[in-house]
Amino acid sequence: MLDIKLLRDNPEIVREAMRRRHQEAPLDDILELDRQRRELLTTADSLRAEINTISRQFGKVSPEERDSLRARSKEMGAQLTGIDPLVVAVEEQQRDFLLRIPNIPNPDVPEGADEQGNQLVRSWGEPPHFDFEPQAHYDIGEKLGIMDFEMGAKLAGSRFTLLRGWGARLELALINFMVDLHVREHGYTLIWPPYLLNTATMTGSGQLPKFEEDLFKTREGYYLLPTAESALASMYAGEILNESELPMMFTAYSPCFRSEAGSGGKDMRGYLRQHQFSKVELFGFVKPEDSYVMHEQLTGHAERVLQELGLPYRTMLLCTGDMGFAAAKTYDLEVWLPGQNTYREISSCSNVEDFQARRSNTRYRDAAGKVRYPHMLNGSGLAVGRTLLAILENYQQADGTVRVPEKLQRYLGTDVIKLQAEVVSDE
């Protein structure tokens, strides 16, 4: 959430940021509500001051004058009582507007309307060359009997997949490999978050109110987490940390649930865009002056996963029009998929600065005793399902089998994935 003081004192900075993001924002409405709020508070202060003045006069005036002062004090008290709900209503409306405004892009972020404006930062690895026509992951998975899209649709509906045998084991192997790498080598603390989150938690992370249609909600009012980031961002909501505790770096595995509202027919086939998918998240609470150095480090930790698995990728700096709502700066990692002959996103690593901290009221006390907002970092380290399909496509062989990356072999217990035996029903 943006600082209202920034908008009040420097509205043109915010207007320029929204222009760069190619987004409309109710800035004039917020400023008008801010004017109304301050006017109401000024009136309330004046009434309190006058009531106090009358109280001091009581012992100095005649009984007749006391009756007049008492009536006047009662009238002003009624006016003061009426102002309080007006202030609350204005503040609630102002906060609702502020919660819907995206973060201000870092000056380093290139301006652009969509993904065409993204910039290549670096690339790693060479796309594999095959002496046969490479297949897409959904064909490989179905032929090996490890991905069952029909069964997933039967059990739950479209955009759900059942993994079978080596497919399920490969998913688990990837989760364990990623968690081990981030905990043992990168020094993150492992978190296992709840899968159901309340409204305050989802608001603090930036999911609500803007993205409610993309969420799954229970009849009890809980939301299925769309990413572990939503839980991690609100872990210290309403608390004041000590500077000595920062940085705090966490990794978390969770299934993620997204309705994919508005995605239409995009990526309908295969395992690329699901309502339920697995992800290993990276998250950090850091001091503002350290956040951009640590953003680079976190991005490097996500890249390390792809390097260890031997998957070619490129790192893209997202432009203003393609960044997420909460981000001030984002790198996307895009893995090469030979079955589709293109790069596809497998991780987004963002610095949201103090945007989520303000929403969740997460603070820390610095060495001088000043209470400040920390910066927050997040990134996929990685999206597990997309890593799985990238392995199927990049390590496929002419005979239909799939080689297992060396780093995964001890987790999976094999160096090649072969045809999964069919389970035949008696009916």
Where in the sequence numbering do the catalytic residues fall? 258, 273, 345, 348, 386
Among 186, 237, 270, residue whose Cα is nearest residue 356: 237
384 close to 174: Cβ distance less than 8 angstroms: yes
Report the 3 state secondary structure along 239-256.
CEEEHHHCCEEEEEEEEE
* Cα separation, 31 vs 37, whole angstroms: 10
Kind of pairing, strands 276-286 and 375-383?
antiparallel
Write the DSSP symbol of residue 268: -
Burial 52-66 (b: 16+ CB within 10 A, else e): eebeeeeeeeeeeee
Tell me the torsion sign for CA atoms 288, 300, 349, 412. negative
- Spacing of C-alpha 299 from chain mean position: 15
Beta strands in 245-321 (DSSP E): 248-257, 276-286, 313-317
Write the DSSP symbol of residue 370: -
Q: Which residues contact 326 (CB under 8 A, 6 or more apart)?
A: 102, 103, 205, 206, 350, 352, 355, 356
User: What share of residues in the chain are helix, strand, coil (percent, to 5)?
Assistant: 45, 20, 35
Please provide residue 110's backbone torsions phi and psi, each rounded to the nearest 5 degrees.
-70, 145
* Cα separation, 238 vs 83, whole angstroms: 27
The residue type of 223 is Y
311 close to 394: Cβ distance less than 8 angstroms: yes
* Cα separation, 353 vs 107, whole angstroms: 13
Among 33, 34, 28, 26, residue whose Cα is nearest residue 5: 34
